[in-house]
Structure 1
C-alpha cells in the first residue's frame, strides 16, 4: 500500500459490515487510525481484530445512532477521545433500508428511517465539523445511493433519505469548504459482499449497465480512500457515482 492516509484519523459509522467495514479496512490499510462504529460490539471487535491482525490501527466505539443529537454528540466525543483528540475524516455510512411500498409504510417506520439515515449524520456532522475546522480541516464523506436519482418502484422512503444526504453534501461543501473541510459523497450502485459465487436476486438491477454485474464493497472503499486522501484536495461538493454506470449509461443489446 502507498499509505495515502498515513497520520490521519477517521470515524466510520456503520462499519461492522458490508460497505462500512470495507471502508474502515481500506482506511487502516492506507495508514489511518480508524474508529469502527456500530451497534454490535461483537461484530465491531471482529473488524478491529482483523485490522490489527493486518498491522493497522483501529478501535471500536459502540453507537446506536437513533437520530437524537445526544447520540451523535456522544459518538463524536468518544471517537475524538479514542483518536487522540481529533477526527480528520468522517464517513457517514450508517443507514437502514426498508423496502416497503409507500402505502405500506407507517409513520413510525418513516420517522425511524429519517432519524437514522438523515438526522443522525446531520447531528454527527454538526458535532464533528467545528473541531475539524479548528484543527486545520479534514474530509467528510456521505453515502448516497443510485436510487436517489433513478426511480424504482420500491424503497421510495429510503431513496428520499439518500436524496437528502446528497443535497446536504452540496450544502455542507458550501458551508464548511471555506473552513478547510471538503465534503463529498459516494453514490453506490447495487453492491453486495461476495457470496461464494451464488446468484442474487438484485443482479437483475444491473442488467443493461456497462458493468453488467453487481459491485463489491471494495469498489466503494477505494472511492472513499480517494475522497479522504490529499489527492482529492480540489474536489468539493461532488457525488461520485460508483454504480457500474447504472445512472449514466445504458447498454443496448444488438
Structure 2
C-alpha cells in the first residue's frame, strides 16, 4: 500500500493490454487497489473473465475486454470500448523466440503485428482524448533484451526496441499537452508465457544478473504503477530498467 495516505489513481481510467496474466495482471491488481477503474484486455475470453474475477473488489474496479492486438479491427474496437482513458499500459506481447536462422516469416509477422503495430495504433486512437484533457500517462513495457544481446531474442528484442523508440518520440510529441510517456524495461521475469518460451533458460539469465535472481511479476508491476502515478509527474521519455542490474554491467 502506498505511504501517501491517498488513493494514487482515484478517478483514473486505465487500460492494461495483456492484463489477464503475469505482469499485466499484477499491475491491474495494484491499479484497482489504488482506486482506478481498470480495463484489462487479452485474446482468451475465458482466461480474461477469470482474471477479472480474481482481482479483489475496491477501491477501484476492473472489467475485461477481449482483443487481439495483431488484428487492427480488434485494436479499433478495443479503443472504442475502453476509451477514453487516463492511463494506457502497452503490455501485451507475442513471445515466439527463435534463433535468427530458424525464425519463421509467420512468427516474425506475429511479433511485429502484436508488439509494434498494435500498440502504435491503439495509442494513436486513445491519445487524442488525453491531449484534449491536458493530462495522461502511457507506460510501454519493453525488455532488457532491447538494449543488449540475448541469443534467440532477435525478433522479439527488435519489437521492444521499437516500443522504446515510440516512448521517446511520443514523449516529445505529447509532452506539450501534458501527456507523459515512459517505459519499463524488465529483466528475466517468471511468468507463464516466459516459461513456455524459455524454460530453464530464464533462471540461467537471472543467475547472471548482479542481483543473481529472476524477478516476480509484482516487482515489475510496481515499476509500472510508479510511472503511471503522480509520483512520477516530472518523468517522461524515460526507461526504468527493472532488470536486476543487467544493463548496468
Q: TM-score, with normalisation over the residues of structure 1? A: 0.90
Give 1:75's match in structure 2, choosing from 62, 73, 78.
Answer: 78
For the residues of structure 1 that align with 2:57 and 2:140, how far apart are their CA atoms?
28
1:206 is paired with a residue whose SS is: helix
For the residues of structure 1 that align with 2:56 and 2:210, how far apart are their CA atoms?
37
For the residues of structure 2 that align with 1:201 and 1:107, how far apart are their CA atoms?
24
1:211 is paired with a residue whose SS is: coil
Q: How does 1:50-199 map to 2 (within 5 A)?
A: 50-53=54-57, 56-68=60-72, 70-80=73-83, 86-193=84-191
Give 1:11's match in structure 2, choosing from 8, 11, 15.
Answer: 15
Q: Is the 8 A contact 1:12 1:20 kept in 2?
A: yes
1:168-225 per-position Cα deviation (integer Å, ceiling 9, x unaligned): 100000011111110000000000149xxxx944211122422110001101111111
Q: Is the 8 A contact 2:188 2:202 kept in 1?
A: yes
- Determine the structure 1 residue equivalent to 2:31: 27
The answer for unaligned runs of 5 or more in structure 2 is 193-198
* Pair 193,113 (structure 1): closer, same or farther in 2 beyond 3 Å: closer
How many Å apart are 1:48 and its aligned residue?
1.4
For the residues of structure 1 that align with 2:65 and 2:209, how far apart are their CA atoms?
38
The answer for unaligned runs of 5 or more in structure 1 is 81-85, 250-254
For the residues of structure 1 that align with 2:71 and 2:167, how far apart are their CA atoms?
18
For the residues of structure 2 that align with 1:241 and 1:43, how far apart are their CA atoms?
29
Q: Is the 8 A contact 1:67 1:119 kept in 2?
A: no
Count of matched residue pairs: 239
For the residues of structure 1 that align with 2:164 and 2:141, how far apart are their CA atoms?
8
How many Å apart are 1:51 and its aligned residue?
2.0
- Determine the structure 1 residue equivalent to 2:227: 227
How many Å apart are 1:67 and its aligned residue?
4.6
2:18 is paired with a residue whose SS is: coil
Q: TM-score, with normalisation over the residues of structure 2? A: 0.91
1:30-88 per-position Cα deviation (integer Å, ceiling 9, x unaligned): 111100111112211122112244654001111011152x32221111012xxxxx300
Q: Is the 8 A contact 1:90 1:141 kept in 2?
A: yes
